[in-house]
């Protein structure tokens, strides 16, 4: 009887000890909901920058870059301009939704082009179609010239608003050192039919004028024939855009392009804060990007333009051609 009593005394203890395990086995497990994913598409470029700023306002606050074909987790999509995403290595940021797709298959790995750099002569790098370090592409319908030298990439486009020339500038610093950006020393010169400098117009002055043409586009400037002849004389513009030898990401701010319009649309730009989108003076840290807009006086007879953008200890020289407009 004592033996039986002993076992009777221990049985409840053993029973209670086994309850947690039994409860754990019977409690249904709920798997965490998987985040939706998207694939990065980047037509015409090899990577897309993404930012810490949902609005992607200027100056851009770059978090990193997304490679074409990368898969990202979509943390939030309000169906606005950007989506909040996370990369495989845990970086979070915002990317324009136009660069994300959930349809089709994209190769998991995309061979990245070998980095190339333009030659510099006496501290000047000149854009030439097809030359090392030189690229051209369309960004929201604007023809962009891209020039990379010594780790610095400068991208520019020029539009004729019918009243002023509008110059979009983006500078990406991968040189490993700080790069000084001074808009006051950026120059736009008319080469043909007259040789003269075109004065820059401050955004403060433009903001006080009643005109709405600062964001219009009457003519989009294209590469000058003089900058094409040496390397790609036998290729058409469409062939050059389809066979890019030194492809670069599009660093120009998409919001700036979207706020401009063609004259035929008769859209106004009263709501555009010109000072906020203007190119700013800065000491650009390594790995960072700066982008903005400048305006210059217009000559109704101009056909050939030269745009020079100093960055660091170099000058980046671009040649553009304009269809003559009155």
Would residue 115 count as lying in a domain? no
62: left (phi over 0), alpha (psi -120 to 50) or beta: beta
DSSP 10-38: HHHHHHHHHHHHHHHHHSPP-PPPPPPEE
pLDDT of residue 282: 92
pLDDT of residue 21: 45
The per-residue pLDDT string of the chain (326 residues; one tens digit each, 9 = 90 and over) reads 444 444 434 444 444 444 444 444 444 444 455 678 888 887 656 677 788 888 777 666 777 778 778 888 888 887 777 888 888 878 888 888 888 887 544 444 444 444 589 999 999 999 999 899 999 999 888 899 999 999 999 999 999 999 999 999 999 998 989 999 999 999 999 999 999 999 999 999 988 876 668 888 899 999 999 888 665 556 777 778 877 877 888 888 665 655 555 554 444 445 678 888 899 999 999 888 899 999 999 999 999 999 999 998 999 999 999 975 54
Domain of residue 280, residue span: 120-321
Please give the helix or strand (H or E) that residue 276 lies within, else none: helix 274-277
Would residue 273 count as lying in a domain? yes
Would residue 286 count as lying in a domain? yes
pLDDT of residue 287: 86
Q: Are 38 and 101 in contact (CB under 8 A)?
A: yes
Q: Are 194 and 107 in contact (CB under 8 A)?
A: no
Would residue 29 count as lying in a domain? no
Q: How many domains does the chain have?
A: 2
pLDDT of residue 103: 58
Residues 134 and 89 in one domain: no
Residue matched to tokens 């979509």 = 74
pLDDT of residue 267: 46
Residues 151 and 264 in one domain: yes
Would residue 164 count as lying in a domain? yes
pLDDT of residue 65: 78
pLDDT of residue 261: 56
Residues 79 and 148 in one domain: no
Residues 190 and 84 in one domain: no
Would residue 112 count as lying in a domain? no
Residues 152 and 192 in one domain: yes
| DSSP state letter for 278 | B
pTM of the model: 0.66
pLDDT of residue 210: 67
How far apart (Å, rounded) are the C-alpha atoms in residues 253 and 57? 8
Residues 60 and 152 in one domain: no
CATH number at residue 48: 2.30.30.40
């Amino acid at each position: 009887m004592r033996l039986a009593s002993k076992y009777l005394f221990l049985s409840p203890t053993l029973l209670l000890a086994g309850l947690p395990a039994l409860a754990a086995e019977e409690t249904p497990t709920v798997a965490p909901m998987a985040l939706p994913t998207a694939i990065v598409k980047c037509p015409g470029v090899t990577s897309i920058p993404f930012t810490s700023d949902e609005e992607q306002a200027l100056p851009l606050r770059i978090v990193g870059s997304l490679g074409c074909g990368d898969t990202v987790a979509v943390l939030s999509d309000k169906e606005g301009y950007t989506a909040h995403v996370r990369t495989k290595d845990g970086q979070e940021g915002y990317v324009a939704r136009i660069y994300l797709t959930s349809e089709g298959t994209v190769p998991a790995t995309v061979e990245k082009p070998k980095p190339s750099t333009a030659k510099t002569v006496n501290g000047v790098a000149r854009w030439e179609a097809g030359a090392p370090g030189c690229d051209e592409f369309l960004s929201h319908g604007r023809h962009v010239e891209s020039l990379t030298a010594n780790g610095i990439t400068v991208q520019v486009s020029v539009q004729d608003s019918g009243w002023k020339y509008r110059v979009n500038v983006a500078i990406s610093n991968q040189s490993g050192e700080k790069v000084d950006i001074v808009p006051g020393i950026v120059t736009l010169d008319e080469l043909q039919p007259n040789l003269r400098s075109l004065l820059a117009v401050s955004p403060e002055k433009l903001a006080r004028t009643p005109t709405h043409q600062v964001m219009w586009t009457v003519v989009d400037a294209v590469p000058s024939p003089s900058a094409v002849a040496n390397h790609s004389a036998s290729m058409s513009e469409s062939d050059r855009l389809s066979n890019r030898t030194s492809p670069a990401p599009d660093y120009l701010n998409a919001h700036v392009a979207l706020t401009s319009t063609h004259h035929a649309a008769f859209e106004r730009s009263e709501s555009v804060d010109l000072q906020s989108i203007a190119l700013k003076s800065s000491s650009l840290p390594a790995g960072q990007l700066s982008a903005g807009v400048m305006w210059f006086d217009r000559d109704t007879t101009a056909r050939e333009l030269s745009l020079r953008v100093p960055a660091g200890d170099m000058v980046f020289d671009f040649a553009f051609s304009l269809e003559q407009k009155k």
